[in-house]
Amino acid sequence: MISVRMARAEDVPALVRLRLANAERHVALDPYRHRLPEPEAVRRYFEELLSSPAEAMVLVLVAEVRGSVAGMTEIVVTPAPPDHQILVPHRIAQVHTVVLERYRSQGIGKALVTAAEQHAARHGVSRLIAPILASNADALSFYSRAGFGQHGILLSKELTANSSNAVGSN
C-alpha cells in the first residue's frame, strides 16, 4: 500500500538519498549541466526547508511503501506575475518527482503527482509545470501519462565571459 504525506524532519535522510539518486540520473543524461551535489548541502537544504514549512514556497511530499520512503515530489510555487506583466496572473508551480529505482512501475509516481496536484490546488496554484530534459524519455513518458502536455519550448544558450553578443559590447 502506498501512502503520500507531507515530508517531516525525520525524512531528511531519505530525502537526501532521493535527491542524490535523481542527481545521478541527471548527470548520466547531461553531465555538462548537472552535477552530484554534496550530501551535506542537500541535508542542510531539506532541514532548513522543513523547519519553516509555513513560510516555504516549496512543498515536499513523500510516498511510503511498508513504512519506507520510496519517492518524493517537490512543488515549487511561483508567485503570480505582477500587474505590469502581459501574462494572465495565474499562480503556477513546478513539480519535480523522483522514485527510487526499486520502487518504480508500482504507481508511486502517479500517487505523488496526484497528491501534488491536490496540494498545489489548495495553495492557489492553477497550473503545474514539469521541467524535463528533452533527453529524459522516461520522465517525458511518465508526465505525459499523468496528463501533462507541452506548454512551450524553452531555449537556452551557453554564455562565456567573452561572449561577443553581450549588450553594450563593441
Average pLDDT, the chain: 89
Give the mean model confidence (pLDDT) for residues 109-118: 96
Give me the sheet containing 92-99, strands edge to edge: 2-6, 58-65, 68-78, 92-99, 127-129
| pLDDT value of residue 165 | 54
| pLDDT value of residue 54 | 63
Say whether domain 2-145 belongs to CATH 3.30.1370.110: no
pLDDT in tens, 88-110: 888 889 999 999 999 999 999 99
63 versus 135: the higher-pLDDT residue is 63
Measure the CA dihedral 153/147/55/23, to 10°: -70
42 versus 135: the higher-pLDDT residue is 42
Domain ranges of the chain: 2-145
Residue 163 banded pLDDT, cuts 50, 70, 90 = low
| pLDDT value of residue 103 | 94
Give the mean model confidence (pLDDT) for residues 23-51: 94
Q: Is 3 helix (H, G, I), strand (E, B) or coil?
A: strand
